[in-house]
């Protein structure tokens, strides 16, 4: 084993605790790598829990100091956790708290410098702009030596920095005395870069490094490029403190962009990312270092806290693997495909972390879900077992008279394979009682109101809602237990989910996974989990259907694809809208993957698309009350990622020609 | 009747249609007021329904042209409706559509100029910044004569303009040729103001006029003041195209601010506001004109579409009354009070409009709600009857064994008084069946899981959820019918609402009304509706309680205030947090209104505050799945207005001293 490998091995164990011999060994091994050495503190904060986050920061500073590193770097806003959203505005006490903690943390620093992100209040009298900066403090020798403030504030996707944060008018570092009173009238002439243990660092915060005009082909969100500004002082290293959640295809972009910057400026870049999930956003960590040639020198683990030691000047740094398959996506183009394989491990880990952190951070431990024998609840059960431990999951089979024998036995088999708790609770009695009561009630209402449907979903929904009453009842009766909403993305797009039924729960693990990907994920789980083939093959082979109604044509439970459209087609529509912002005629006029393999008439295609738009517009309300879920895809319908007024359901998705418009105007 | 009064009278009828004689009479009456005459087109758009909005715009342009007015002004973004949120980004076709409509509308204009708001796409190649401007086009003589672009983009409250809109780098008007291709490199040297029929207009969009440093005491959100810039060209009139929703206390601010600007620059200001509700935001209209002395010259009706004719140079303009009582609030200071009276008519109209527009714009017509005989459902029923018509409301009394006789008869009496549909549907059978099934199920679960509560809310919640199943069942079975969530603001803050129970519904009318205000509103309704005293006095007199559980101490249904704390105290805590951002010790150390009239020990106060913070932190999830509701108060918990990570429930609301923090750090 080389010295370097031994360094990596020992560093990995630092959080579990090293013996004093091991610690001394590590200190000795690190001596040749001292100049320019950096500890990457990839940690998982809890939003707003300043004490919890600060204690972690202190522990990691202590490690770095003991090992005599030059520098230890934390993710963006680490004292607060990212994102904190409007909390800081309504409860300004937590901002005061994070400043108090920062000042006390500064006092314990010695010759190892720490870069610690925090929310910085701006002076309150006669203030122009927002009340806060998103800042990083440079701490050493008991003092706050400098402060870097974020200039570029993202407002897309789930980001909303600009809502409460003022963009810094200057790039780079200002003196520590400017804490809380920085304004344009006290911008110092100090250098933008920081000298730390003899090396020059150009420090930036997250979005500040995402605006290279050349890389983004002259199409950028901001006019300022902070990295370009920092480069003018020829720093030895760029540092970027980040909180960047994982999304499909983002790895490719991030890798190429960071590599490009390092190479362009012939300057290594150290990118330190938050790990862990905060509500709907799952941060993957995977902090990394590119050398001055743009080559990857080090990459931390994904979805895991880690203290990692690197030295970009001396080639010190281990490349931990990305989630399996993801490397393949680095050069992939933007085309719809059913080849989900390269993204499945990332998908799995993103959701696992999302579930685990949501439960942990809200104080829940156990989950209860309905096991229908269908794909959605099956995959959810596997994910929950892996995230929370099989003993903490209770699967309830809740058959109705429509539920097939196969479904019941599939559910039971799955539970056995997973080792989760299982019981059966038929809903027949509840359904009958509810239905009787409702039929009587409907009779009364009909005396006053017209418009009773000949065919309705009432019966279907009673079943779904009875099941939810069982699950929420268990959550009420047993401590620390959350019911799970099992809706998938394809069905949510179609509003094919019952309010207060399957779409209700404390958490929705697969709300951002389309059905075709869910099939692929099921197969992947069967192949890649320690216990193979936990999911019965029959679950994967059968056509999805909610088993809430009988198809009058077949006399068998209704198949979802018959009620909606083929999932392969549906999922490509979703993909095109989310990723390419295509509209109706874009889709009419181009060939779908599904059309390559199946014969689809023009009329049929138009009918499916019409159905899609009609159903999507009435699904907007359901999206607005969807429980917290993990954002996985490159785009989602999660309400913190996508917002559309529910009352905008009249959008004309086909548009009109100018001649048609002129004609309408003339007739007014 | 004076000529002016006759003008106002005829103008009021213009949408219903004037006879040709009346039209000619109006044209003749307006002749002396021609120079500087302005039509204010206060209209109610549907978000994203470009055709619907454009047709209204054309109709109002036609009126103005027929009457030979100089100018007709529409609210902000009128072709799109405000807010449109992310819709324009995911469905760019609607932006193309609104440009097509704009161009065709321009073609029908003659010598009357129209100011029409629209979303303007920016040129796509090598773009810096966001993809759109929030613009107003100046249309006349068949052409787009000029374009004004919004510079100041609000991101507070429910606003999020900056998410998809680029701030204009310049103030005022640019040439019509810049449509879709405006960039810093083609900023013309044309004047910022517009000459229209010989008068000079300084035109701005909404937020652009809300940044006067003097008025806001040097504390402003932006450094640029577009009105100051426009004033340098000495315009004859300022015009502001706006979409500004109503909130408590905002009337005061708006009135004083607009008056201040007019007076400061000795220039009349014409403020044209959107009316109608879009999802959670209710826009009050009340468009107005201040003369150059800052005196109110004209004010359009509140909560109503209107075509209004003014001439700020010739004293033409009628002052329609504000909602009753609101004038009183114009000079009120920021102190907590139970004197809700001055705000009750506004509250009533805001909610009525919110319900009506949500139903109309989503295509629903009827509402069904549970009538418990309690205050919340009672007030909801009155509001629904007034918003939708009594024949479109169905009240269902759903008694359990806990429900008192009085509650049942109060519910029935209310329904009779209102003339709404009413029936009774006991939940006893459903409750018994569900409870039996659940008790069996709990027995099974107990074999595997510990942590079963000795006392739980399971039984309470079965009742609330059974009722919701009835209501959603009716919505499934009868066309165009939405169930109503009856939770009030005080109880939502405390999480005192059942998931899939009383907090579930298609719409939540009173989610932003605290309980003490609800009592005042009930009394106000009894006094001010055409049919007096619809609400039985006993409903207002009895202490609120959900009648879901028996208080073991009294043997009677549990009173909410016993489970929570006195509503007068609770509502002041909410008010202090929302309006003054106070924290725990701020509240401990100052006197509450409740304390003035009641003796409250220090321990009791601290206990209530602790309970408040504990319960609020666990209510965050419920806020995230709250149905669409009307924002009424100056602040709310509506998720489009306030966002806090659910996982941030560990916030230390008391904070720590520096010494305590130093001590913790040393022990790590």
Q: Give the tens place of pLDDT for each residue, A49-79.
A: 999 999 999 999 999 999 999 999 999 999 9
Determine the distance in angstroms separating the CA of B319 from the nearest CA of chain A, rounded to an integer: 30
The model's pTM: 0.97
Q: Distance between CA B230 and CA A268 in Å, rounded?
A: 48
Mean pLDDT, rounded, for B368-381: 97
Q: Distance between CA A163 and CA A85 in Å, rounded?
A: 8
Q: Distance between CA B66 and CA A536 in Å, rounded?
A: 74
Mean pLDDT, rounded, for A422-429: 97
Question: Minimal CA–CA distance to B468: which of B511, B514, B418, B427?
Answer: B427
- pLDDT of residue B662 exceeding 90, the answer is yes
Half-sphere exposure of B626 (CA within 13 A, CB side): 35
Measured between CA atoms, the residue of chain A closest to residue B475 is A458
Question: Does the bond joining A83 to the residue before it have cis omega, within 30 degrees of 0?
Answer: yes
Q: Distance between CA A71 and CA A203 in Å, rounded?
A: 12
Determine the distance in angstroms separating the CA of A508 from the nearest CA of chain B, rounded to an integer: 12
pLDDT at position A334: 75
With a CB-CB cutoff of 8 Å, which residues 149-188 of chain A face chain B?
155-156, 160, 162-163
Mean pLDDT, rounded, for B34-60: 98
How many CB pairs lie under 8 A apart between chains A and B? 424
**What is the end-to-end Cα distance of chain B in Å, rounded?**
84
Is the distance from CB of B115 to CB of B78 less than 8 angstroms? Answer: no
Q: Give the tens place of pLDDT for each residue, B125-139.
A: 678 999 999 999 999
Q: Which of B15, B125, B473 to mutate to test the interface with A (most CBs of A within 10 A)?
A: B473
Q: Sort out which chain A residues have CB atoms less than 8 A from B429's CB and list them.
A: 433, 436-437
With a CB-CB cutoff of 8 Å, which residues 513-532 of chain B face chain A?
none
Q: Hey, are the CB atoms on B478 and A452 less than 8 Å from each other?
A: yes
Is the distance from CB of B540 to CB of B375 less than 8 angstroms? Answer: yes
pLDDT at position A333: 64
Q: Hey, are the CB atoms on A645 and B163 less than 8 Å from each other?
A: no
Q: Distance between CA B553 and CA B536 in Å, rounded?
A: 28
Q: Sort out which chain A residues have CB atoms less than 8 A from B439's CB and list them.
A: none
Q: Distance between CA A187 and CA B613 in Å, rounded?
A: 40
Q: Hey, are the CB atoms on B665 and A104 less than 8 Å from each other?
A: yes
Q: Give the tens place of pLDDT for each residue, B221-275.
A: 999 999 999 999 999 999 999 999 999 888 889 999 999 999 999 999 999 999 9
pLDDT at position A371: 97
% of chain B surpassing 90 pLDDT = 89
- pLDDT of residue A330 exceeding 70, the answer is no
pLDDT at position A281: 97
- Write the burial class of residue B595 (CB in 10 Å: 0-12 exposed, 13-18 middle, 19+ buried): middle
Q: Which of A81, A85, A647 sits opposite B361 (nearest CB)?
A: A647
Q: Sort out which chain A residues have CB atoms less than 8 A from B661's CB and list them.
A: 54, 100-101, 104
Q: Give the tens place of pLDDT for each residue, B446-493.
A: 999 999 999 899 999 999 999 999 999 999 999 999 999 999 999 999
Determine the distance in angstroms separating the CA of B582 from the nearest CA of chain A, rounded to an integer: 7
Q: Which of B217, B470, B643 sits opposite A85 (nearest CB)?
A: B643
- pLDDT of residue B386 exceeding 60, the answer is yes
pLDDT at position B252: 84
Q: Sort out which chain B residues have CB atoms less than 8 A from A479's CB and list them.
A: 451-453
With a CB-CB cutoff of 8 Å, which residues 21-50 of chain B face chain A?
46-50
Bridge partners for B132 per DSSP? B121, B165
Catalytic residue ranges of A: 76, 150, 206
Determine the distance in angstroms separating the CA of A264 from the nearest CA of chain B, rounded to an integer: 20
Q: Hey, are the CB atoms on B221 and A421 less than 8 Å from each other?
A: no
pLDDT at position B540: 96
Measured between CA atoms, the residue of chain A closest to residue B364 is A647
Q: Hey, are the CB atoms on A430 and B433 less than 8 Å from each other?
A: yes
Mean pLDDT, rounded, for A246-255: 89
Mean pLDDT, rounded, for B397-426: 95
pLDDT at position A331: 59
Mean pLDDT, rounded, for A585-598: 96
Q: Distance between CA B432 and CA B430 in Å, rounded?
A: 5
- pLDDT of residue A29 exceeding 90, the answer is yes
Q: At A134, list the tokens.
A: 């998103």
Mean pLDDT, rounded, for B649-657: 92
Q: Hey, are the CB atoms on A47 and B468 less than 8 Å from each other?
A: no
- pLDDT of residue A552 exceeding 90, the answer is no
Q: What is the residue-averaged pLDDT of chain B?
A: 95
pLDDT band at B650 (very low <50, low <70, confident <90, very high): confident
Give the least confident one: A345-349, A454-458, B386-390: A454-458
% of chain A surpassing 70 pLDDT = 98
HEC string of B114-130 equals EEEEEEEECCCCCCECC
**From B85, B97, B199, B206, active-site residue:** B206
Q: Hey, are the CB atoms on A462 and B469 less than 8 Å from each other?
A: yes
Q: Hey, are the CB atoms on A437 and B449 less than 8 Å from each other?
A: no
Q: Give the tens place of pLDDT for each residue, A169-190.
A: 999 999 999 998 887 666 777 8
B150 is catalytic: yes
Q: Hey, are the CB atoms on A643 and B640 less than 8 Å from each other?
A: yes
pLDDT at position B329: 62
Q: Distance between CA A205 and CA A216 in Å, rounded?
A: 19
Q: Would an 8 Å CB–CB cutoff place A451 in contact with chain B?
A: yes
Q: Which of B51, B461, B621 sits opposite A652 (nearest CB)?
A: B51
Measured between CA atoms, the residue of chain A closest to residue B394 is A445
Q: Hey, are the CB atoms on B55 and A89 less than 8 Å from each other?
A: no
pLDDT band at A629 (very low <50, low <70, confident <90, very high): very high
Q: What is the residue-averaged pLDDT of chain A?
A: 95
* A576-580, long-range: CB < 8 A, 24+ apart: A576/A336, A577/B90, A577/B91, A578/A633, A578/A634, A578/A635, A578/A636, A578/B90, A579/A334, A579/A634, A579/A635, A580/A334
Q: Sort out which chain B residues have CB atoms less than 8 A from A425's CB and list them.
A: 437, 440-441, 444
Mean pLDDT, rounded, for B22-45: 97
pLDDT band at B331 (very low <50, low <70, confident <90, very high): low
pLDDT at position A329: 62
Q: At B515, list the tokens.
A: 């309980």
Could you give the angle at which helices A344-362 and A375-388 cross, rounded to 10 degrees?
Answer: 60
Q: Hey, are the CB atoms on A470 and B437 less than 8 Å from each other?
A: yes
3 state SS of B61:
helix
pLDDT at position A649: 86
**From B85, B97, B120, B150, active-site residue:** B150
């Amino acid at each position: 084993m080389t010295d370097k490998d031994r360094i990596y091995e020992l560093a990995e164990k630092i959080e579990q605790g090293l013996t004093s011999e091991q610690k001394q060994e590590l200190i000795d091994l690190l001596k040749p790598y001292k100049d320019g050495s950096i500890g990457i503190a990839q940690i998982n904060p809890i939003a707003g829990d300043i004490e919890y986050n600060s204690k972690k920061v202190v522990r990691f500073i202590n490690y770095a100091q003991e090992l005599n590193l030059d520098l230890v770097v934390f993710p963006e806003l680490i004292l607060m956790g990212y994102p904190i959203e409007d909390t800081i505005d309504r409860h300004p006490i937590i901002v005061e708290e994070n400043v108090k903690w920062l000042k006390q943390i500064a006092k314990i620093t010695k010759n190892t410098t720490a870069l610690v992100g925090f929310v910085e209040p701006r002076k309150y009298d006669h203030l122009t702009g927002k009340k806060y900066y998103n800042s990083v403090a440079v701490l050493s020798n008991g003092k706050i030596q400098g402060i870097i403030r974020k200039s570029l504030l993202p407002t897309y996707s789930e980001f909303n920095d600009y809502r409460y944060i003022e963009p810094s008018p200057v790039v780079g570092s200002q003196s520590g005395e400017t804490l809380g009173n920085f304004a344009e009238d006290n911008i110092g002439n100090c250098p933008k870069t920081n000298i730390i243990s003899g090396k020059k660092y150009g420090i930036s915060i997250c979005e500040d490094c995402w605006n290279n005009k050349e890389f983004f082909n002259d199409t950028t969100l901001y006019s300022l490029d902070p990295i370009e500004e920092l480069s003018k002082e020829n720093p030895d290293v760029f540092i970027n403190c980040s909180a960047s959640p994982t999304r499909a295809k983002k790895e490719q972009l991030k890798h190429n962009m960071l590599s490009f910057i390092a190479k362009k400026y012939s300057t290594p870049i150290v990118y330190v990312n938050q790990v862990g999930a905060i509500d709907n956003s799952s941060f993957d960590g995977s902090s990394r270092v590119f050398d001055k040639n743009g080559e990857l020198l080090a990459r931390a683990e994904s979805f895991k806290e880690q203290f990692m030691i690197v030295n970009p000047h001396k080639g010190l740094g281990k490349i931990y693997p990305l989630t399996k398959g993801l490397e393949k996506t680095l050069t992939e183009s933007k085309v719809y495909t059913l080849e989900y394989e390269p993204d499945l491990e990332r998908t799995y880990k993103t959701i696992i972390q999302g579930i685990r952190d949501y439960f942990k951070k809200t104080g829940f431990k156990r989950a209860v879900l309905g096991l229908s024998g269908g794909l959605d609840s099956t995959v959810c059960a596997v994910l929950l077992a892996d995230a929370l431990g099989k003993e903490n999951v209770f699967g309830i089979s809740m058959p109705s008279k429509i539920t097939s024998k196969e479904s019941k036995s599939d559910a039971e088999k799955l539970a056995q394979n997973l080792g989760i708790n299982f019981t059966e609770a038929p809903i027949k009695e509840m359904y009958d009682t509810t239905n009787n009561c409702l039929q009587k009630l409907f009779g009364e209402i009909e005396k006053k109101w017209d418009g009773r449907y000949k065919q309705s979903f009432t019966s279907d929904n009673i079943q779904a809602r009875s099941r939810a009453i069982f699950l929420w009842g268990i959550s009420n009766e047993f401590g620390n237990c959350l019911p799970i909403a099992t809706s998938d993305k394809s069905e949510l797009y179609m509003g094919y989910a019952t309010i207060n039924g399957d779409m209700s729960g404390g958490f929705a693990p697969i709300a951002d996974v389309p059905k075709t990907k869910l099939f692929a994920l099921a197969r992947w789980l069967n192949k890649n989990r320690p216990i193979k083939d936990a999911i019965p093959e029959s679950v994967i082979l059968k056509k999805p259907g909610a088993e809430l109604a009988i198809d009058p044509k077949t006399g068998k439970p209704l198949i979802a694809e018959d009620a909606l459209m083929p999932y392969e087609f549906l999922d490509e529509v979703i993909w095109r809208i989310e990723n390419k912002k295509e509209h109706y005629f874009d889709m009419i006029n181009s060939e779908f993957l599904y059309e390559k393999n199946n014969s689809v008439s023009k009329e049929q295609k138009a009918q499916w698309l019409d159905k899609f738009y009609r159903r999507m517009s009435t699904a907007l309300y359901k999206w607005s009350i969807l429980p917290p879920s993990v954002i996985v895809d490159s785009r989602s319908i999660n309400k913190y990622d996508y917002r559309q007024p529910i009352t905008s359901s009249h959008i004309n998705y086909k548009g009109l020609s100018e001649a048609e418009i002129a004609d309408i105007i003339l007739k007014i």
